[in-house]
């Protein structure tokens, strides 16, 4: 299993999926032209990671979502990722921390995180990014 890193672009977030540190991070804007092509390697990695964790013992997984914007197509995949993380946590006895970062002036991003939390029945930690 390898760490998956995707660089930030104008249309896609920086993504770091690190099985050695048990950290997942999405940062930036998510509005890829081909949403399925962008998210497929991420979903495949999560499937492999779920199998990897079954023999890893007690693990705390930190999933950090530092998104500034995402379109509706990306929202579906973000929901799928959070659902998958919940499934992994249950199957592998993992402590899951979903950290939803939002700018203190961006009520839309806070609302989006709260909607995901309600719809998916997964507890989020809401983290305010203070204005400079």
pLDDT tens digit sequence for 114-125: 999 999 989 999
Q: How many domains does the chain have?
A: 1
* Residue range of the domain that includes 92: 4-129
Domain containing residue 36: CATH number: 3.30.750
The rounded distance, in Å, linking the Cα atoms of 68 and 46 is: 23
Contact 90, 82 (CB under 8 A): no
The rounded distance, in Å, linking the Cα atoms of 25 and 67 is: 10
Distances in whole angstroms, Cα of residue 2 to Cα of each of 45, 52, 111: 9, 11, 34
The rounded distance, in Å, linking the Cα atoms of 91 and 13 is: 28
DSSP-assigned letter for residue 14: E
The rounded distance, in Å, linking the Cα atoms of 96 and 81 is: 13
Q: Is the pTM of this model over 0.85?
A: yes
Residue 54 has pLDDT above 90, yes or no: no
Closest CA relative to residue 24, chosen from 94, 117, 93, 121: 94
Mean of all residue pLDDT scores within the chain: 95
């Amino acid at each position: 299993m390898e760490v998956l890193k995707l660089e930030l672009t104008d249309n896609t977030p920086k993504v770091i999926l690190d099985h050695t540190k048990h950290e997942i991070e999405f940062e930036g804007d998510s509005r890829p032209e081909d949403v399925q092509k962008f998210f497929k390697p991420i979903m495949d990695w999560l499937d492999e990671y779920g199998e990897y964790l079954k023999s890893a013992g007690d693990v705390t997984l930190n999933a950090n979502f530092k998104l500034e914007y995402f379109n509706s197509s990306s929202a579906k995949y973000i929901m799928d990722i959070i659902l998958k993380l919940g499934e992994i946590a249950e199957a592998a006895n993992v402590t899951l921390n979903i950290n939803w970062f939002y700018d203190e002036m961006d009520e839309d991003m806070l609302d989006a995180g709260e909607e995901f939390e309600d719809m998916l029945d997964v507890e989020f930690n809401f983290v305010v990014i203070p204005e400079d």
